[in-house]
């Protein structure tokens, strides 16, 4: 007996139909994956900004507990188990792995993951062996004429315009590396726009944090060409006079940002 096909009989996809469906899925994936990546990076940028905000507030709380004084750049631990303590963590001879919960700001945040940028996972530690990609304003801790200093909040007249720390990186050959210093006119240490575009996240001394547009040099800096710096998204928070990055001359307001000098 011949079987009569009914409308309810199952019908398989043809090869052409399957190929069309696969092609549509591939097109949608090509369109949506970059959007998802952008959304993911936007979330990391927001997370990074929140980290810097919390670090800034923890710095203020530390100063409130220590006679209005900002923590030292580095404290060397002596004794049977020597080590070093910095704002982000502590390392001891018995356990050289950095303990992010035991830095100067650790007791005020209770979360060691906050001390590093979530977008910096691909940046190596570099020659300085630094585990975090936030660098502090070195001039809060060092006076070029007198040496190490202890900075009091009350001595800074413009804390909202004074950098505490920012997204940063150094350039060793062709590779980016983590570094813990922002130094306005020395060394290959730069602010790093690692969230895409020309914006870097910055924490300021009054406790607020925001994204800041970078300035790119028009001349070579320490053997690094302007094209390389821009391609690596490495720049400055300040626009140097006459576009000379190594110039020691800063405006009065620029000195507040880094050198903390009071204008005449």
3-state secondary structure the chain: CCCCCCCCCCCCCCHHHHHHHHHHHHHHHHHHHHHHHHHHHHHHHHHHHHHHHHHHHHHHHHHHHCCCECCCCCEEECCCCCEEECCCCEEECCEEEEECCCCCCHHHHCCHHHHCCCCCCCCECCCCCCCCCEEEEHHHCEECCCEECCCEHHHCCCHHHCEEEEEEEEEECCEEECCCEECCCCCCEEEECCCCCCEEEEEECCCCEEEEECECCCCCECCECHHHHHHCCEEECCCCHHHCCCCCCCCHHHHHHCCCCCCC
Taking only the tens of pLDDT, the chain with its 264 residues reads: 555 555 555 566 687 878 888 888 888 777 766 655 666 667 788 899 999 999 999 999 999 999 999 999 999 999 999 999 999 999 999 988 899 999 999 999 888 889 999 988 888 887 777 899 999 998 899 887 788 888 998 888 889 989 999 999 988 878 889 988 887 666 678 899 988 788 999 999 999 999 998 888 777 777 888 899 889 999 888 776 555 555 666 777 777 788 787 655
Q: Where are the domains of the chain?
A: 15-256
């Amino acid at each position: 007996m011949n079987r009569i096909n009914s409308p309810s009989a199952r019908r398989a996809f043809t090869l052409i139909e399957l190929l069309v469906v696969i092609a549509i899925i591939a097109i949608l994936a090509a369109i949506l994956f970059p959007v998802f990546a952008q959304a993911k990076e936007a979330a990391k940028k927001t997370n990074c900004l929140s980290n810097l905000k919390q670090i800034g507030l923890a710095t203020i709380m530390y100063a409130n507990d220590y006679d209005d004084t900002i923590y030292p750049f580095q404290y060397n631990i002596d004794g049977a188990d020597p080590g070093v303590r910095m704002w982000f963590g502590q390392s001891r001879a018995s356990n050289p792995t950095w303990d992010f919960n035991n830095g100067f700001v650790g007791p005020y945040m209770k979360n060691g993951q906050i001390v590093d940028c979530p977008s910096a996972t691909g940046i190596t530690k570099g020659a300085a062996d630094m585990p975090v990609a936030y660098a502090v304003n070195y001039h809060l801790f060092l006076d070029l004429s007198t040496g190490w200093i202890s900075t009091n909040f009350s001595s800074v007249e413009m804390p909202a315009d004074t950098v505490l720390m920012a997204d940063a990186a150094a350039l060793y050959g062709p590779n980016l590396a983590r570094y813990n210093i922002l130094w306005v006119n020395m060394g290959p240490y730069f602010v790093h726009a690692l969230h895409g575009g020309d914006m870097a996240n910055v924490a300021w001394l009054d406790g607020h944090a925001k994204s800041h547009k970078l300035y790119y040099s028009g001349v070579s800096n320490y053997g690094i060409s302007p094209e390389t710096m821009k391609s690596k998204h490495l720049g400055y928070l300040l626009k140097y006079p006459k576009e000379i990055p190594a110039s020691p001359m800063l405006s009065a307001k620029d000195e507040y940002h880094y050198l903390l000098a009071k204008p005449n």
